């Protein structure tokens, strides 16, 4: 019994670490580009992908990935067409979530734990899920390693990117694909409602203490890992939902980071 308990906890911890490592560097770009709503819209679309996957008896990962990718491409295509970006993202995000929830209600004969997809069910991660999560993480990291300099330059200054012979719109598409991959692998761990939080909070927490973009990504990955493992431990000991517990730990770290940064600046001014 003890070995079985250890086994599912280890799988859960490995799943959380995998998602944290994938989300951290991507979350840095989300913060730099101020794409928080973009992450939300992409994540919310995943629930529609889950419903379609169950309806057609296909892979949940594939359905979530396709739905997230379609949403991200739709947002990119519609941007600058007469609507403010935050308005467009708000409309698409909530519409996708609503249509997804309605679609799930029409699935007769299919037992589905909706809360698991909304808030995650990391304790139910199987070995297959673990392989999918780490496979997706490897793809995201490879994609970002390949295009890191181009993505960074496009994020900092599009004019400089053009001058260097880069196409910022193409780099945006690379980021879009990576974001869809993270959404698809993270849905089992934190659920569609909390994916954006795992993207943004560790990156925002790392920002005051990073002197380079690369260091910010590494610090964010470490903070995301601490949040995942810490949330899992809290969930196990206090019987709380694991996905929200992970985000709560991340939020506490962000608060401590903000306080520490403010105190450091105050001391620096006094000196």
* pLDDT averaged per 10 residues, the chain (length 271): 58 92 92 82 87 84 88 76 73 87 78 79 87 93 91 86 85 87 89 89 92 93 95 91 93 94 81 70
Given 1.10.3470.10, 1.20.120.80, 2.40.440.10, 3.30.390.10, which CATH number is that of 2-270? 1.10.3470.10
What pLDDT, on the 0 to 100 scale, is given for residue 229?
A: 94
pLDDT of residue 93: 84
Q: Can you give the pLDDT at residue 172?
A: 84
Q: Spell out the long-range contacts of 10-14 with Cβ–Cβ below 8 A and sequence spacing 24 or more.
A: 11/125, 11/126, 11/127, 11/129, 11/130, 12/122, 12/123, 12/125, 12/232, 12/242, 13/228, 13/229, 13/232, 14/130, 14/134
Task: Count the alpha carbons within 13 Å of 14 in the hemisphere toward its beta carbon.
Answer: 18
Sorted by where each begins, the domain ranges of the chain are 2-270
pLDDT recorded at residue 266: 82
pLDDT at position 2 is 42
What Å distances lie between residue 237 and 82, 98, 153, 189, 241, CA to CA? Answer: 51, 34, 45, 18, 11
- pTM, rounded to two decimals: 0.87
């Amino acid at each position: 019994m003890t070995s079985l308990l250890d086994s599912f906890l280890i799988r859960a911890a490995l799943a959380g670490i995998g998602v944290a490592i994938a989300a951290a560097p991507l979350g840095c770009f989300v913060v730099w580009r101020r794409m928080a709503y973009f992450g939300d819209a992409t994540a919310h679309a995943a629930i529609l992908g889950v419903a379609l996957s169950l309806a057609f008896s296909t892979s949940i990962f594939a359905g979530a990935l396709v739905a997230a990718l379609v949403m991200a491409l739709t947002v990119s295509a519609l941007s600058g067409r007469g609507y403010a970006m935050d308005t467009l993202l708000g409309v698409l995000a909530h519409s996708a979530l609503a249509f997804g929830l309605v679609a799930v209600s029409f699935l007769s004969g299919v037992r589905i734990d909706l809360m698991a997809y909304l808030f995650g069910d990391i304790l139910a991660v199987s070995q297959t899920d673990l392989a999918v999560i780490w496979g997706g993480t490897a793809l995201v990291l490879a994609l970002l390693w390949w295009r890191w300099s181009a993505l960074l330059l496009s994020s900092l200054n599009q004019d400089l990117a053009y001058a260097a012979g880069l196409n910022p719109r193409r780099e945006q598409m690379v980021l879009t694909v990576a974001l869809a991959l993270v959404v698809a692998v993270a849905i089992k761990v934190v659920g569609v409602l909390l994916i954006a939080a795992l993207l943004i909070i560790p990156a925002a927490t790392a920002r005051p203490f990073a002197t380079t973009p690369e260091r910010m990504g590494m610090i964010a990955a470490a903070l995301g890992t601490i949040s995942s493992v810490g949330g899992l431990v809290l969930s196990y000991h206090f019987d709380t939902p694991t996905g929200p517990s992970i985000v709560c730990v991340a939020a506490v770290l962000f608060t401590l980071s903000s306080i520490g940064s403010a105190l450091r600046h105050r001391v620096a001014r006094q000196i």
